[in-house]
């Protein structure tokens, strides 16, 4: 297991290096590697060569623009000038650790022993059968089990890596904002492990809904600072705190929003999900996934599984946002579906805003999806048509939450339940044996009280 995680990370280094260098010769080298690997595949040699063959990262617009911090027009650094040089330094440190063998080795061990990677790619047999039509045809549904990560969500992949960077940068204090609390818990845990002081900003509304996470954060030794409102207000306040304190504290972004390099950093650390999925798919059925489905709040778990496959035109990328009470209700979190381009929390991206340009609040039964913005990279994927985006209401998500619990004995996070809910519409359209991978981004223990509040009749 070590070797596969290490090789994932190592190959990222090499490829990022190649990407960063962007020399003709490195491109040529990549191409010739693939040719070698292609012949290696035919002769049936080791998985490592196969991985290289599969990892054809086209140097395209995304990566070109990304070096300036932009994905097309999206992204950028729309923050007060005070933060700019701090962000520059962060970017330099980030680029350094990507190539630093020592850091990567340490991260590989942490991901294996502390986080519990790699997470299984689970064949959901009963769920697959549930969605089969009268002829017994339907897609094969696999779940990428990010719910089995330490702290119960994909958040730890990023939190541990960034906490290690904070330590490396000699910052004593880590500051973070959290919505559902999963990022808060993951950050608090990582800080406990690395002996860093930690302050978590959480919205007052969220603290009520996900109270168990508040207890966990405190138990892990972090301070919880209550901010009136929800995640968006907690984020704003955390950023202000960062500006006030930037020589001493490290702002640990939990998701793919914020000024450059934050979206890229989080995406890079979360992309292990997609890399593992690719390898596991190859081992399992000798191919790639046909469709990859993920829920979208701000986009960290979605990009985590999508990013690896963006260059593979044959893989369909499906993002599912929260329609809350319905798209017409005004109470939802469907940023890509109904938002307009704006600047928020440091990046240009789609945004839920009114005609004045004031930012609107978002709603979803999946607390972690309640964010009026969305990652700039996802905005780019939407505009280029590389990924498709759909929405699912609170009711549909609640149903899916219960369905997976009953059919597979797996309780998904309410956020991930949105991705699962979309299977209702998706499966009937797919040919027999299509390989669908759903990113089960977290576990849903935290949502059980909320579920029974919505379905009191079931609490008999």
Partner 1 sequence: MALALKSTCFVQLKRPKSCYAFRSSRQLAVVSTRRSTTMAALSTVATIGISETFAKLKKEGKVAFIPFITAGDPDLSTTAQALKLLDSCGSDIIELGVPYSDPLADGPVIQAAATRSLAKGTNFDAVISMLKEVVPQLTSPVALFTYYNPILKRGVEKFMSIVNDAGVHGLVVPDVPLEETEILRNEALKYNIELVLLTTPTTPTSRMKAIVEASEGFVYLVSSIGVTGARGSVSARVENLLRDIKEATTKPVAVGFGISKPEHVKQIAEWGADGVIVGSAMVKVLGEAKSPEEGLKELENLTRSLKSALI
Q: Which residues bind partner 1 (CB under 8 A)?
A: 76-86, 232, 236, 239-240, 243-247, 340-346, 351, 353, 355-359
Q: What would the two tokens of residue 83 be? A: 């933060």
CB of 266 to partner 1, least distance (A): 19
CB of 361 to partner 1, least distance (A): 9
* Nearest CB to partner 1, comparing residues 262 and 292: 262
Instruction: Write down the residue that tokens 């617009």 correspond to.
Output: 61
* Cα end-to-end span (Å), the chain: 44
CB of 440 to partner 1, least distance (A): 32
CB of 297 to partner 1, least distance (A): 17
CB of 214 to partner 1, least distance (A): 23
* Nearest CB to partner 1, comparing residues 56 and 341: 341
* Nearest CB to partner 1, comparing residues 152 and 346: 346
* Nearest CB to partner 1, comparing residues 197 and 245: 245
CB of 190 to partner 1, least distance (A): 26
* Nearest CB to partner 1, comparing residues 113 and 354: 354
* Nearest CB to partner 1, comparing residues 246 and 414: 246
The two beta strands, 74-75 and 70-71, are antiparallel
* Nearest CB to partner 1, comparing residues 36 and 341: 341
CB of 240 to partner 1, least distance (A): 5
Contact residues for 159 (Cβ-Cβ < 8 A; gap 6+) = 183, 186, 187, 189, 190, 252, 254
* Nearest CB to partner 1, comparing residues 87 and 365: 87
CB of 248 to partner 1, least distance (A): 10
Q: Cα(164)–Cα(253) distance, rounded to whole angstroms?
A: 13
């Amino acid at each position: 297991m070590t070797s596969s995680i290490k090789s994932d990370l190592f190959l990222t280094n090499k490829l990022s290096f190649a990407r960063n260098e962007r020399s003709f010769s490195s491109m040529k080298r990549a191409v010739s590697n693939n040719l070698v690997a292609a012949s290696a595949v035919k002769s049936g040699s080791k998985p490592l060569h196969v991985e290289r063959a599969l990892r054809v990262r086209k140097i395209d617009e995304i990566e070109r623009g990304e070096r300036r911090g932009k994905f097309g027009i999206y992204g950028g650094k729309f923050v007060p000038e005070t933060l700019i040089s701090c962000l520059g330094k962060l970017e330099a440190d980030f680029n350094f650790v990507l190539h630093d063998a020592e850091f990567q080795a340490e991260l590989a061990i942490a991901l294996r022993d502390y986080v519990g990677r790699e997470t299984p790619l689970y064949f959901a047999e009963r769920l697959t059968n549930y969605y089969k039509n009268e002829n017994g045809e339907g897609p094969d549904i696999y779940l990428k089990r990010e719910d089995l990560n330490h702290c119960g969500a994909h958040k730890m992949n990023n939190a541990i890596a960034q906490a290690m960077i904070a330590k490396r940068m000699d910052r004593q204090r880590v500051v973070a904002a959290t919505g559902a609390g999963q990022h808060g818990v993951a950050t608090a845990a990582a800080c406990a492990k690395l002996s860093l002081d930690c302050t978590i900003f959480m919205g007052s509304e969220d603290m009520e809904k996900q109270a168990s996470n508040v207890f966990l954060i405190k138990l892990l030794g972090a301070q919880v600072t209550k901010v009136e409102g929800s995640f968006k207000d907690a984020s704003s306040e955390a950023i202000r705190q960062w500006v006030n304190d930037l020589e001493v504290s490290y702002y640990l972004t939990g998701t793919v929003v914020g000024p450059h390099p934050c979206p890229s950093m989080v995406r890079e650390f979360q992309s292990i999900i997609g890399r593992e999925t690719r390898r596991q798919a190859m081992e399992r059925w000798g191919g790639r996934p046909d469709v990859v489905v993920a829920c979208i709040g701000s986009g960290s778990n979605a990009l985590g599984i999508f990013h690896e496959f963006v260059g593979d035109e044959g893989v369909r990328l499906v993002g599912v946002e929260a329609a809350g009470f319905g798209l017409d209700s005004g109470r939802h979190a469907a940023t890509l579906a109904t938002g307009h381009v704006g600047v928020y929390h440091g990046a240009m991206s789609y945004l839920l805003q009114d005609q004045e340009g004031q930012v609107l609040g978002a709603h979803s039964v999946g607390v972690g999806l309640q964010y009026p913005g969305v990652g700039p990279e996802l905005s780019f994927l939407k505009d280029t048509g590389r990924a498709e985006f759909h929405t699912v209401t609170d009711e549909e998500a609640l149903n899916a939450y219960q369905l997976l619990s009953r059919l597979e004995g797996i309780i998904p996070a309410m956020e991930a339940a949105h991705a699962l809910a979309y299977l209702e519409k998706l499966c009937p359209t797919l040919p027999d044996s299509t390989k669908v991978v759903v990113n089960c981004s977290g576990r849903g223990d935290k949502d059980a009280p909320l579920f029974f509040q919505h379905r009191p009749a079931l609490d008999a």
